[in-house]
Structure 1
Amino acid sequence: MEHNSSVHSNRRDRAAGSTSARANSRSGRSAEVPDGFMLPLANSSELAVELRIRIARGDWIEGEKLPSVRRMSEETGLHRLTVYKAYNRLKDEGLIESREKSGYYLTVPRRPAETGFGSVQRFRSPEQSDPESSGTESLEVPQPALLGELHSVECRYQFSQALIDPLLLPNSYLSEEAKHVFDLYPRVLGTYAPLQGDEELLNVLRRYMSETCGFVPEGQELLVTSGGQEAIHLTCEALVRPGDAVLIEQPSYSIAIEMFKHRNARLVPVDIHPDGYRMDEIEALMRRHRPVLFYLNPTFHNPTGWCVPAEQRKRLADLAETYNCILVEDDAFRDVYFDAPPPPPVYSYDTAGNTIYIRSFSKYVFPGLRIGCLAARADLMRRLLTAKARSTGGTPLLNQKVFAHQFQSERSRRHLHKLRTALQLRKEAMEKALEGSGWTWHSPQGGLNLWIKLPEGISPQRLLADALGSGSGEETISFVPGSFFDPEGRPDPHIRLSFSMLNERRIAEGVALLRAHAEKQGF
């Protein structure tokens, strides 16, 4: 259902790159990249992105000297002038400083309001920081660093986190269930879980998928992960090599975007619309770029909440087989629907084994347990298991046991039914609070978010900075600007408001305050 006005999609011309090395990515082995190793780069912009990632990851501490221009040139194969330009970009951003006849150093933070990643100042738009600025928006710090920082800012009205309000979860019941697990398995903390997952939980998940997804993973086709994020990481490690083309929705999950960028994949955006994809566009992109995979979130898509219809899911499975493209289907919100259940997963239509199906239960079934899983056919699963063995070696057994006993219970089914009702009421409260604002959105039938287009003239970045204020106080508000979800990091007129963390009264209060901030920009 569309609210206020139609929400258009922006079609953009995509530049084609070389595909000469793509076929090698299907050989079955992934390129293992140790921390600190620099993947092949093409220019100063790409090097600057890689350096920002390493800074955010903590490869250098404050005040530590970075590799010299000569050494970085040798490590990357780039010209010294290219390295110099990348370093100067970071210097202009305040991330590093140059010392005469000494080199470049990671900047030592002064006061939080002046420098450092822990600052609300990072969210200010250029026109707020510099009166002479032209007003063009720019987010130069890596998006995950900013997003994590945004989530950590203390706010009275938290619209940035797509998480369930802990008050909606049966916490006392989970506590009793955990105690019961210790009684049943007194040695549960004294052993590791099998690499592929605890057999009891695997059987629970097979029954669940048979009942709700229309397929049953056979034999060794199911792997337990520490949430959906680890499943995406394993897919990157197992399948993506530097230079591989990867199709990804526009907009898309920001963490997935950065994971693929960190593997130096060549991202090819695919527009998603309220009614799904343009299938002719996807086929043309597959034919042109020969991507190693397509990362998609077709069910109550993050951040938009849109749902791809069944006929397009069938067509996607056919295209994946035709063009030898692996579909990585991220299905984190399947159970969070408000009326009718969503269509079956793309995986259920795939007869050729070209789909990896990722499920996360962290959003709505006890986030602290961090339980997820992925399903894949045997040839893909072997590569994913190798990546799992190299990373965590297995998901904690205690978490698996507690989840298995809770998830299969009748109490869990009743909880999920009540949760859907509570979330629908919160969504409706947010939509009611937005009436008459001139902001536009399509009402989702599931998920945790509204994807809202702001009127022309309102800067999402400036609105966020105004709403955050000093980062403390009774009227601070957080949300996520649309640029966080753009695979190419471009400015976007949308914002994501999550309705899952606050009750109806506080949602109404927070939206009213946010609208007041927007009115100060002239609308």
Structure 2
Amino acid sequence: MTNKPLIEPQKKQAHLTVDSSSAQPQSKHSFQTVYTYIQTRIQRGDWQAHAKLPSVRQLAEDTGMHRLTIFKAYQHLKEDGHVYARDKSGYYVQPPALQVLTNEAELGLPLFQGNLGELHRIEANYQFSKALITPNLLPNHYFAEYVKQVFDLYPKLLGTYATAQGDLELREMLQRYFTKTSQFHVHADEILITTGAQQAISLIAEVWIRPGDHVLIESPAYASALDVFEQKGAKLVLVNIDANGYDLVQIEQAMQKYKPRFFYLNPTFHNPTGVCISAEQRKQLVDLAAQYKCLLIEDDTCQDIYFDQKPPLPLFAYDTEGYTIYIRSFSKYVSPGLRMACIVARPEWFTPLLAAKSLADGGTPLLNQKVFLLYFTSNRLQQHIEKLRIALRIRLEIMEEELSSTGWYYESPQGGFNLWVRLPDHISVPELLARCLKQSISFVPGSLFDRHETSQQYIRLCFSFASEQEIRTGIQQLVAIAKDMESNSSE
């Protein structure tokens, strides 16, 4: 890995011109000019997957064509699968979900080229791509009991909207919870309830990113965060994370040079690597943030999913200057169906976030908040989490046991849901994924987490969604497919 920050290069903009010698620039074929122009730029890579395209009005002004002509071109591009539309937002580049292998086309296998969400939508018997807990490990019967209790306690619940900031009773409970477990003091007015961590990331991007802004982010990093920041037009400055944590010199140099809007990081059982940053590095990061007035966006989804000892306190607990915004998700291990998370921020950062949340959905569903409140404060939850840690550790050990004979490199995580595995250079990860998907085995290629090429030989294997037997059988099959590839390449 290089220690130099990397910024995504800007593409040189091309311009659409209309043949002025044409006697009928608005002829029935003029929309084809726009169609061809956009299609060509997409194909040559000027606009990447999910990039926002020029608006109908902008293209009409640039070309002198009628807006209906531009609209017709976009409609044809949409019908042909080159672009997709978002309501009240515009048109975006449609990523190719599948692409035929070019160097080994004789295999007849499709090469996956989509994003993480598209990969998750592919059904698989051996599911190692989803960093979620299988419903079989959740106390579903107890959930049903608590839902009934909620309606006894709050009989008018379904006829009531939640406030945009979130239920006060829930925020006061979280206030006490953070004081007790994370040793930081926060007022209920500094807590914003969100519909999952993904919404929290989107709200922060909406508030603080403008096209061209620099954003520090780990390499590798949570794939969906990368997509959100790029869609907002951010220039990503990548900083390395490995088994030793961060290169703090690299981070300080990046803060000095780029004056980034913020540094988005996942220091506790990092996704995808599983790394847990030391308390000492957390303190140093907080000091750097204060020195260079750089916001730290701390994404914490696995604080309670540890195997031996608790992780260090969140960055927010060490921050006395108020430069940390804390995202805490409970979705993955309390109840994924409730999509419960929160943002904790000091008053100077809080107001724009609340305004963005108000515009986004007016408030997370009140029913979800009350069910979560009742269950989260129960003794059953703590019993459930203890059992869950044991079950996940057993699944990790089974996965590592089945990989032990391969010689593949990985660091055993001390918590979380993922095993970050480096494959030998002679194994093509895209081809391995194509072969595995054909056999109903799914994993995530490292390229989805990295805008460098340093993670191309890595794969993320999630041990939380499959059963113990599915892990054993599925990993055995994955290893067999990889060995078959190696045998064929050596012939």
Structure 1 and Structure 2 fold alike (TM over 0.5): yes
Show CA shifts across 1:308-327 (max 9, x none).
10111001111111111100
**What is residue 499 of structure 1 aligned with on the other side?**
463
The 5 A counterparts of 1:325-364 are 325-364=294-333
1:187 to 1:129, Cα distance in 2 relative to 1, 3 A: farther
1:262-301 maps to which residues of 2 (within 5 A)?
Answer: 262-301=231-270
- Against the structure 1 CA distance between its residues 103 and 498, is the aligned structure 2 distance closer, same or farther, given a 3 Å change threshold? closer
Distance 1:522 1:311, change over 3 A: same
- Pairwise mapping of residues 268-417 of structure 1 onto structure 2 (< 5 A)? 268-417=237-386
Tell me the equivalent position of 2:211. 242
Say which structure, 1 or 2, has more relative contact order (CA 8 Å, 6+ apart). Answer: 1
Determine whether 1:107 maps to 2:80: yes
Is the 8 Å Cα contact of residues 482 and 494 (structure 1) preserved in structure 2?
Answer: yes
Q: Distance in 1 between matches of 2:43 and 2:352?
A: 28
User: Would you say 1:449 and 2:449 are equivalent positions?
Assistant: no
Is the contact made by 2:297 and 2:324 (CA closer than 8 Å) also made in structure 1? yes
Post-superposition offset of 1:383: 1.2
Distance 1:207 1:487, change over 3 A: farther
Check if 1:480 corresponds to 2:477: no
Query: Could you say which residue in structure 2 is the equivalent of 1:122?
Result: 98
Query: What is the match of residue 168 of structure 1?
Result: 137
Go from structure 1 to structure 2 and tell me whether the alpha carbon gap of 1:219 and 1:173 turns closer, same or farther (over 3 Å shift): closer
Aligned residue identity for 1:14: L
Matched-pair contact (CA < 8 Å) for 1:124–1:465: no
How far did 1:503 drift? 2.0
Partner of 2:387: 418
CA drift at 1:521: 1.8
Give the letter aligned to residue 366 of structure 1. Answer: S
Structure 1 residue 427 and structure 2 residue 399: aligned?
no
Q: Provide the rounded CA distance (Å) in 1 between the counterparts of 2:107 and 2:470.
A: 34
| Corresponding residue SS for 2:217 | strand
Q: Report the CA distance shift for 1:314/1:361 in structure 2 as closer, same or farther (over 3 A).
A: same
Match of residue 19 from structure 2: none
Separation in structure 2 between the aligned mates of residue 395 and residue 504 of structure 1, nearest angstrom: 35
1:5 alignment partner in structure 2: none
In structure 1, give the amino acid aligned to 2:401: K
Q: List gaps (5 residues or longer) in structure 1.
A: 1-8, 19-42, 60-65, 81-96, 110-115, 470-474
- What count of residue pairs does the alignment treat as equivalent? 443
Taking a change above 3 Å as real, the CA distance of residues 207 and 98 of structure 1, as seen in their structure-2 partners, is closer
2:15 equivalent in structure 1: none
1:521 to 470, 485, 488: 485
Instruction: Return the letter of the residue paired with 1:384.
Output: L
Q: Tell me the amino acid that sits aligned with residue 460 of structure 2.
A: R
Q: Which residue of 1 aligns with 2:88?
A: none
Is 2:50 the partner of 1:53? yes
CA spacing shift, 1:138–1:282, aligned 2, 3 Å: farther
Q: Equivalents in 1 of 2:466, 2:76: separation in Å?
A: 48
**Aligned counterpart, 1:89:** none
Q: TM-score, normalised by structure 1?
A: 0.78
The 1:281/1:373 distance shift into structure 2, 3 A limit, reads same
Aligned to 1:29: none
Cα contact 2:220–2:449 (8 A) shared by 1: yes
Which piece of structure 1 moves more, 153-162 or 484-493?
484-493
Task: Output the CA distance in 1 between the equivalents of 2:330 and 2:423.
Answer: 31
Cα distance, 1:353–1:516 mapped onto 2, change above 3 Å: same
1:463 deviates by 0.3
| Other-structure match for 2:23 | none
SS in 2 for 1:438: coil
| Displacement after TM superposition at 1:52 (Å) | 3.6
CA-CA distance at 1:108 after TM superposition: 5.9
SS of the equivalent of 2:189 reads coil
Q: 2: CA distance between counterparts of 1:164 and 1:480?
A: 16
Contact 2:171 2:188 in 1 (8 A): no
Contact 2:283–2:318, Cα closer than 8 Å, also in 1: yes
Q: How far apart are the structure 1 equivalents of 2:100 and 2:330?
A: 34
Work out the CA distance in 2 between the residues paired with 1:130 and 1:74: 45
Give a deviation string over 1:368-412, Cα, whole Å, max 9, x none.
Answer: 000000100001001111111111111100000000000010000
1:14 aligns with 2:14: no
- The change in CA–CA distance for 1:118 and 1:276 in structure 2 (over 3 A counts) is closer
1:468 aligns with 2:414: no
TM-aligned CA deviation for residue 45 of structure 1: 7.1
Counterparts of 2:437 and 2:8, CA distance in 1: 40
1:192 aligns with 2:168: no
Q: TM-score, normalised by structure 2?
A: 0.83
Q: Is the 8 A contact 1:480 1:495 kept in 2?
A: yes
Q: More displaced, 212-221 or 241-250?
A: 212-221
CA distance in 2, matches of 1:265, 1:49: 16
Offset at residue 98 of structure 1 (A):
9.1
The Cα shift of 1:301 comes to 0.1
SS state at 2:155 partner: coil
Measured after TM superposition, the shift of residue 286 of structure 1 is: 0.5
Task: Give yes or no for contact 1:125–1:465 (8 Å, CA) kept in 2.
Answer: no
RMSD of Structure 2 on Structure 1 (CA): 3.4
User: 1:74-153 counterparts in 2 under 5 A?
Assistant: 104=77, 106-107=79-80, 122=98, 125-129=101-105, 141=114, 143=115, 147-153=116-122
Alpha-carbon distance in structure 2 between the residues aligned to 1:414 and 1:500: 18
List per-residue Cα deviations over 1:41-66 (Å, max 9, x = no partner).
Answer: xx9579967674279xxx9xxxxxx9
Spell out, residue by residue over 1:479-505, the C-alpha distance to the aligned partner (whole angstroms, 9 max, x if none).
000001013577611000000012222
Distance 1:400 1:449, change over 3 A: same
1:218-269 alpha-carbon deviations (Å, 9 max, x no partner) = 2411111111111111111111111110000000011100110011011000
In structure 1, the residue corresponding to 2:246 is in which secondary structure?
coil
Q: Distance in 1 between matches of 2:162 and 2:76?
A: 48
Letter in 2 for 1:53: H
Answer yes or no: is the 8 Å Cα contact 2:6–2:236 preserved in 1.
no
**Bigger Cα displacement from structure 2, 209-218 vs 455-464:** 209-218
Question: Kindly tell me: are residues 467 and 408 of structure 1, through their superposed partners in 2, closer, same or farther at Cα, counting changes over 3 Å?
Answer: same
CA contact (8 A) 1:305 1:447 kept: yes
For residues 286 and 298 of structure 1, the distance between their equivalents in structure 2, rounded to whole angstroms, comes to 18
Distance change in 2, residues 1:380/1:173 (3 Å): same
Counterpart residue number, 2:184? 215
Aligned-partner residue type, residue 481 of structure 1:
P
The answer for the alignment partner of 1:40 in structure 2 is none
CA distance in 2, matches of 1:67, 1:378: 36
